[in-house]
Amino acid sequence: MNRTATGTAAVILAFSLASCAASELSPPPEDGGTFESVGDLKEAVESAGLACPELVVDSPPSKFAASSASCGEFTYLAIYTDDVYLESQLDLWKPGGQRAVNIGKNWTVVSEDPDLIQKSLGGSVLHTGP
Smallest Cα–Cα separation from 77: which of 97, 96, 104, 115? 104
Q: Greater confidence, 17 or 122?
A: 122
Q: What is the pLDDT of residues 23-80, one digit of tens each?
A: 466 888 999 999 999 999 999 999 999 999 899 999 999 999 999 999 988 899 999 9
Q: Under a CB-based contact definition with an 8 Å cutoff, are residues 73 and 95 in contact?
A: no
Does residue 19 register a pLDDT over 90? Answer: no
**pLDDT number for residue 97:** 63
Q: In this predicted model, what pLDDT tens digit does every residue of 68-127 receive, in sequence order?
A: 999 988 899 999 999 999 999 988 887 766 578 999 999 999 998 999 999 999 999 988
- 40 inside domain: yes
Is pLDDT at 10 greater than 60 in this prediction? no
d(CA 64, CA 97): 18
Amino acid at 86: L
Determine, yes or no, domain membership for 19. Answer: no
pLDDT number for residue 18: 44
Q: Which domain holds residue 40?
A: 29-127
SS3 of 28, please? coil
* pLDDT for the residue numbered 99: 74
Is residue 8 included in any domain, yes or no? no
Query: Which residues make beta-bridge pairs with 127?
Result: 100
Q: Is residue 103 part of a domain?
A: yes
Residue 56 maps to a domain: yes
13, 7 contact by CB (below 8 A): no
- The reply to whether the predicted model has a pTM over 0.75 is yes
pLDDT confidence of 8, banded at 50, 70, 90? very low
Q: Is 13 a domain residue?
A: no
Cα–Cα distances (Å) from 89 to 2, 9, 25, 54, 69, in that order, read 65, 55, 32, 24, 15
pLDDT of residue 9 exceeding 50, the answer is no
Q: How many independent structural domains does the chain possess?
A: 1
Residue 121 within a domain: yes
